[in-house]
Amino acid sequence: MLRGVLLNGLDAPTGPGARKDPTPALLRIKHDATLPNRYRADVKECFVIVGGFGDLGSERALLRSETLTCVRTDGGVIEVSLDAYAVSKDDKVGCAVAW
């Protein structure tokens, strides 16, 4: 599990092509990752590129991750594909729309 904040706003489209061409956004990881069996991974301050689209029925932006990028202490860069989805503070899939 990762916890982070969006670094930019997102106008999540709801049209018929929105799922095929999601709008990009950038997320900064705020804490170490919580992994199974009480393991942790140091990904604090790493960036995640996400893509999202809107769902009118739930009034949420549904976000899926694409890439995780980190810079190691020795200056090396790690960039990997990441298959994940966003969950709001209310523990529901998607980010609640802020009015």
**CA–CA distance, 58 with 82 (Å, rounded to integer):** 25
- The pTM of the full predicted model, rounded to 2 decimals, is 0.87
pLDDT reported for residue 99: 59
Residue in 96, 86, 90 with CA at minimum distance from that of residue 2: 86
Q: What are phi and psi of 37, to 5 degrees?
A: 60, 35
**How would you write the pLDDT of the chain (99 residues) with one tens digit per residue?**
999 999 998 888 998 888 899 999 999 999 999 999 999 999 999 999 999 999 999 999 999 999 999 999 999 999 999 999 999 989 999 998 765
**CA–CA distance, 14 with 42 (Å, rounded to integer):** 35
The domains of the chain are located at 3-96
